[in-house]
Structure 1
């Protein structure tokens, strides 16, 4: 931080994160469902669109102007530097949906301070929805009208729980398809809502368990901040609080230990 700059409060950081989401929404919605959308392919054969790139550039430009000493870790342009404060950005989570004109995609913006994700914003403009949270400030959503607080469900039995597993291929490729099928047999219902929307449904109390694999920090950091502040738990498949393990398991908290036991074949 430059000597003349005053430390930003977490409320200031959250306000900035919401402004970053506004800028990203403008870029992504301006290109959404357009027949002339430019679509490319990365080295890992996943898709990237002109909207992914433009949205992340817009976010980076604002951070560079308003928080020049902060680091940025984005899906499309990587890490710019190392610092105690790091913005973690996925400009469009759900690019496969985006390029097909399916509205279930969103921008994810998180702020990590001294290794702890302290604030997060998820914006899904094609669905007219936004969620945000910061440590000690609660979790919130906006869907027209006034912002309102959100909280996870009070479901405390697996046989009453709703599970979103993201995709069978993820679990199969990670070598845990049998674990998923075991859990699926114990819950009330299962669906694959997909990508960041699953976690937001969890934070609102509409889904109780979400699990997936092959995820980077930018895929889950903002969601983790919101789920945790809404009263849920967010760990890896193994139960670690770290977000860099390439797996994620989120629950309403009440079901977390039972879910881990079921997935790992343990008797409670």
Structure 2
């Protein structure tokens, strides 16, 4: 199996640069914020973080393609970096510390593109998570100071903690009834939102999470980390990977039952 550890080390270097840029402007009174065509906000920090990541990738991996939320696709080929410079921009611009830079590397194989490196860095929380294909998932402050991640062993929805983002998206997608039935079947529910529920699934602190509408850059890094922690990450129709425009992640034991609720007519 190819060794992607050098790419993982590079992802940490990229995240260090992004963290410095985003933390410098976090809670700044003169932070510039614009509204994109899809009516979501983008700050100067989003753009600066992605520019830094693209610049470093251009020097370190000039043959690799890049897909980022703010600047789209650059290049082509069998290796592609997926970047969300700030996942949780609405939190960022309001001074809420739950936001992160998401970095993933996807490599083309016989079965299509596969995530082989995933890193999530949340500097305002003082947390970072990462994984490499076949090497497990970890959290810590550095590659040499880390704790391995493993999903929970909860096997009953009645004992499960379920995390989600918001109610409105489920209603817009026509899945609200099944979603509400799932919340009623679980032991505990909390709307943490964005990257954090997936990291808590990987840690074993949360057992299931789901979102009804997402982009590839929202999911690519999370998918690698959940998978390498022993969990499952699929679209709501059960297709493995981060390609379905929505997501469900779990410890694996509760996955099919979760999907059954979320796909009720």
Q: Secondary structure at the match of 2:19?
A: helix
Distance 1:263 1:159 in 2: 16
How far 1:234 moved relative to its partner? 0.2
Distance 2:162 2:3 in 1: 36
Distance 1:265 1:177 in 2: 9
Aligned to 2:69: 75
Cα deviation, 1:49-105, whole Å, max 9, x if unaligned, reads 000000000000010000000000000000002210000000000000000000000
Q: Secondary structure at the match of 1:231?
A: coil
Distance 1:214 1:260 in 2: 15
Give unmatched runs, 5+ long, in structure 2.
none
How far 1:152 moved relative to its partner? 0.6
How far 1:246 moved relative to its partner? 1.1
How far 1:176 moved relative to its partner? 0.6
Cα deviation, 1:185-204, whole Å, max 9, x if unaligned, reads 11101110010011111110
Distance 2:220 2:149 in 1: 18
- Equivalent positions of 1:143-182 (< 5 A) are 146-182=145-181
2:214 counterpart of 1:251: no
- Equivalent positions of 1:145-224 (< 5 A) are 146-224=145-223
Cα deviation, 1:165-220, whole Å, max 9, x if unaligned, reads 21101111111111101111111011100100111111100001110022000001
Contact 2:153–2:253 (CA under 8 A) maintained in structure 1: yes
2:57 counterpart of 1:58: no
Cα deviation, 1:6-35, whole Å, max 9, x if unaligned, reads xx9400000001111001101100100110
2:227 counterpart of 1:233: no
- Equivalent positions of 1:106-145 (< 5 A) are 106-114=100-108, 115-142=113-140
2:85 counterpart of 1:91: yes
Q: Secondary structure at the match of 2:55?
A: helix
- Equivalent positions of 1:34-45 (< 5 A) are 34-45=28-39
How far 1:263 moved relative to its partner? 2.4
How far 1:143 moved relative to its partner? 5.2
Cα deviation, 1:216-268, whole Å, max 9, x if unaligned, reads 000010000000000000000110114222110000111111111232349xx
Distance 2:158 2:264 in 1: 16
Distance 1:160 1:235 in 2: 22
Q: Which moved more, 1:9-18 or 1:140-149?
A: 140-149
Contact 2:100–2:122 (CA under 8 A) maintained in structure 1: yes
Distance 1:40 1:263 in 2: 34
Q: TM-score if structure 2 supplies the norm length?
A: 0.95
Q: TM-score if structure 1 supplies the norm length?
A: 0.94
